[in-house]
Amino acid sequence: GAGVSQSPRYKVAKRGQDVALRCDPISGHVSLFWYQQALGQGPEFLTYFQNEAQLDKSGLPSDRFFAERPEGSVSTLKIQRTQQEDSAVYLCASSKSRDSHYGYTFGSGTRLTVV
Amino acid sequence: QKEVEQNSGPLSVPEGAIASLNCTYSDRVSQSFFWYRQYSGKSPELIMSIYSNGDKEDGRFTAQLNKASQYVSLLIRDSQPSDSATYLCAVITGFQKLVFGTGTRLLVSP
C-alpha cells in the first residue's frame, strides 16, 4: 500500500480484556517496528521484525505483550489481560532498509484506552 | 540519564522568526540522527535526517550535528503558525533502533 496502515484507529477495552492491534506496512518494506507513545512522551520502542523474524523484543513491558509477523508482511501486536497503564497510542513503522539508516515511516497509530 | 534529551518547551516564537530546537544524546557510537514533526493527535512525520558533522539544509529547515559534543539541532527559518507542533529528535543507537526524545513543543504565534 501507499502508507503504513493500522487498525483499529481507536480501541476501548475493559480492564482484563485481550486486544489485538494490526499493522500493514508499506509493500516491500523489510523492517517493521512497534512503538508505544504515552501522552506527552516520545515514542518508546517495543519490538522489531526483519521480515518474519522478531530480532528484538526488549521493549515489550511484560509477558502480556506479544507480537508476530508470520509471513513477513502484516504484523499483530496482542496485549493480554489489559491494564490501565497500557492506555497509550501504539505506533507501527516500517522501513525499506534492514537497519534503521533511513528512518521510518509511521502509521496513524491505534489509540488504546483501558477502562 | 536518558539516551536522547530534549527540552519539553513550549518554545514560543513569533511568526517569521527563527525557531531553534536542541537535542543531546548519550550513545557515542550513534551515526544517524533524525527530526520528526508530530501534530497533535497525529503520528510522527520524518522531516530531516543527518549523518555527518555540520549543517544540512532543506528548504526552511536546517539540521546541525556535532558528534564531539553529542548535540543535534534543528533550525526553522521564517517560522509559520503551521509549524506549531511537537518536534521529536531521534537517534539510532548501537542496537539499530530509533530512540526518541520526549519532544519539544513549538508554538508559532501570528
Q: Give the torsion through C-alpha atoms of A99, B4, A64, A40, to 10 deg.
A: -120
Amino acid at B48: M
Q: How far is A76 from chain B (nearest CA, A)?
A: 18
Query: Would you give per-residue pLDDT tens digits along chain B (110 residues)?
Result: 679 999 988 999 999 999 999 999 998 888 899 999 999 999 999 999 999 999 999 999 999 999 999 999 999 999 999 999 999 999 987 667 899 999 999 999 99
In eight-state DSSP terms, residue A57 is -
Q: Rounded to whole angstroms, how far apart are CA atoms A69 and A43?
A: 21
Site from B4, B98, B105 to mutate, A interface, most A CB atoms within 10 angstroms: B98
Q: Rounded to whole angstroms, how far apart are CA atoms A115 and B7?
A: 32
Chain segment A30-68, per-residue pLDDT in tens: 999 999 999 999 999 999 999 999 999 999 999 999 999
In chain B, what residues touch A113 (CB-CB under 8 Å)? none
Nearest to B34 among A40, A103, A108 (CB): A103
Strand order across the B4-5 sheet: B4-5, B19-25, B71-76, B61-66, B54-58
| H/E segment holding residue B84 | none
**Could you tell me whether strands B104-109 and B11-14 are parallel, antiparallel, or unpaired per DSSP bridges?**
parallel
